[in-house]
Chain A
Amino acid sequence: MAKSSTKPSTHHYDAIVVGGGHNGLTNAAYLAKSGLRTLLLERRTFVGGAAITEELHPGFSFTTFSYALSLIRPEIVQELDLVKHGFMPLYMRSSFAPMDNGDYLITGPDREENLNEIRRHSRADADAMERFEFDLSRVQQFVKPLFDNMAPNIFSGAPEDQEQVAWMLKHLGSAPPKVVHDTVRLLFGSIADFVEDYFESEIVKASLASPAIVGAKLGPMSPGSGLVFLYLAMGEHDGALGAWSFHKGGNGGFTQVLARAAQSFGCEIRLDSAVSHVVTSGGRATGVVLEDGTEFTAPVVVSALDPRRTFTELVDPLELPTDLVDAIRRYRFTGMASKVNFALDGPPVYPGLEGRTDHYQGFINVAPTIEYVERAWDTAKYGWYSERPYLDCSIQSFIDPDMAPPGKHVMSCFTQYTPYHLKHPDGTPANWDDERDNLGDVVQRTLAGFFPGFDDLVLHREVVTPLDIERTTGLSEGNIYAGEFLAQQMYFFRPAPGYSDYRTPIEGYYQCGSGTHPGGCVIGAPGRFASQQVVKDLAAKGAKKG
Chain B
Amino acid sequence: MRIKTTPFYPRLVELNHTGLWSHWAGHLSATRYDFSAKYEYFGVRNAAAYFDASPLFKFWIRGRDAEHFLARAMARDVRSLKPGRAQYTVWCDDEGFVMEDGVLFRHAADEFMLTAAEPNLSHLRTLARGKQVEIVEVSEDYAVLALQGPRSRAILEPLAPEIADLSYFSFTPAKVAGHPVTISRTGFTGDLGYELMIPSDDALDVLDALIEAGEPHQLRPFGEEALNMARIEAGLPLIGAEFTSARYAYNDAERFTPTELGLGWLLRGIDDDSRPFVGRTAIRRELADKTSRWATVGIAVDQAAYFELFDSHGVIPVMDEIPVPWETMLYDDSGERAGYATSLMYSPMVQRYIGIARVRPELAAPGGTVHVEETVNHEYLTVPAEITSLPFFNPERKLA
Question: Which residues of A are interface residues toward B (Cβ below 8 A)?
Answer: 74-75, 77-78, 82-83, 87-91, 93, 108-110, 113, 137, 140-141, 144-145, 238-241, 248, 358, 361, 398, 400-401, 406-407
Contact = CB atoms under 8 A, between A and B. Distances in A.
B319 A75 contact: no
Contact of B321 (A87, A108, A238): A238
Interface string B278-319: 000000000000000000000000011001000100101111
Interface string B332-364: 000000000000001011111000000000000
13 contacts: A74-B307, A83-B351, A88-B46, A109-B38, A137-B316, A145-B311, A238-B321, A239-B318, A240-B319, A248-B46, A398-B218, A401-B46, A407-B216
Contacts of B316: 137, 140-141, 241
Given A77-B351, A406-B216, A238 B346 contact: yes
A451 B46 CA distance: 28
A400 B46 contact: yes
A360 to B, nearest CB: 11
Contact of B217 (A74, A77, A401): A401
Given A109-B36, A241-B316, A90 B42 contact: yes
Contacts of B39: 91, 93, 109, 361
Interface residues of B, number: 32
A82 B314 CA distance: 28
Contacts of B263: none
Contact of A91 (B218, B304, B348): B348
B217 A113 contact: no
B349 A88 contact: yes
Contacts of B349: 83, 88
The majority secondary structure among interface residues of chain B is loop
Contacts of A358: 34
B285 to A, nearest CB: 40
A91 B35 contact: no
Contacts of B317: 239
Closest 4 CB pairs of A and B: A239-B319, A407-B216, A109-B36, A406-B216
Contact of B303 (A78, A89, A400): A78
A47 B39 CA distance: 30
Most buried by B among A75, A93, A144, A238: A238
Interface in B126-153: 151
Contacts of A241: 316
Given A239-B317, A401-B217, A87 B35 contact: no
Contacts of B216: 406-407
Contacts of B236: none
Nearest to A405: B216
Interface of B: 18, 34-36, 38-39, 42, 46-47, 151, 154, 215-218, 303-304, 307, 311, 314, 316-321, 346, 348-352
A237 to B, nearest CB: 9
Contacts of A74: 303, 307, 351
Contact of B35 (A82, A113, A406): A113
A144 B308 CA distance: 12
Nearest to A77: B351
Nearest to A346: B216
Contacts of B321: 238
A18 B35 CA distance: 45
B348 A89 contact: yes
B36 A401 contact: no
Given A239-B317, A401-B218, A78 B304 contact: yes
Contact of A78 (B42, B215, B320, B351): B351
Nearest to A408: B216
B90 to A, nearest CB: 31
A88 B46 CA distance: 10
Most buried by B among A74, A141, A248: A74
Given A238-B348, A239-B346, A406-B154, 8 more contacts: A77-B351, A93-B36, A93-B39, A238-B38, A238-B346, A398-B218, A401-B151, A401-B217
A513 to B, nearest CB: 25
A90 B350 contact: no
A444 B268 CA distance: 64
A145 B308 CA distance: 11
B319 A407 contact: no
A102 to B, nearest CB: 23
Contacts of A406: 154, 216-217
Contact of A238 (B18, B35, B311, B319): B319
Nearest to B392: A83
Nearest to B155: A406
Nearest to B315: A141
Nearest to A239: B319
Contacts of B320: 239
Contacts of A407: 215-216
Contacts of A145: 311
B318 A90 contact: no
A178 B321 CA distance: 32
A294 to B, nearest CB: 38
Nearest to B150: A402
Nearest to A111: B35
Contact of A108 (B36, B47, B218, B351): B36
A361 to B, nearest CB: 7
A113 B36 CA distance: 11
A368 to B, nearest CB: 25
A406 B47 CA distance: 11
A109 B151 contact: no
A141 B311 CA distance: 8
Nearest to B318: A239
B34 to A, nearest CB: 8
A91 B42 contact: yes
Most buried by B among A137, A141, A401, A407: A401
A108 B36 CA distance: 8
A343 to B, nearest CB: 15
A52 B222 CA distance: 32
Most buried by B among A87, A91, A141: A91
Most buried by A among B314, B351, B352: B351
Contacts of B151: 401
B137 to A, nearest CB: 39
A398 B217 CA distance: 9
A83 B350 CA distance: 6
B38 A91 contact: yes
Contacts of B38: 91, 93, 109, 238
A400 B218 CA distance: 9
A113 B18 CA distance: 10
Contacts of A140: 316
A406 B218 CA distance: 9
B233 to A, nearest CB: 11
B300 to A, nearest CB: 10
Contacts of B350: 83
Nearest to A140: B316
A83 B395 CA distance: 12
Nearest to A113: B35
A361 B34 CA distance: 12
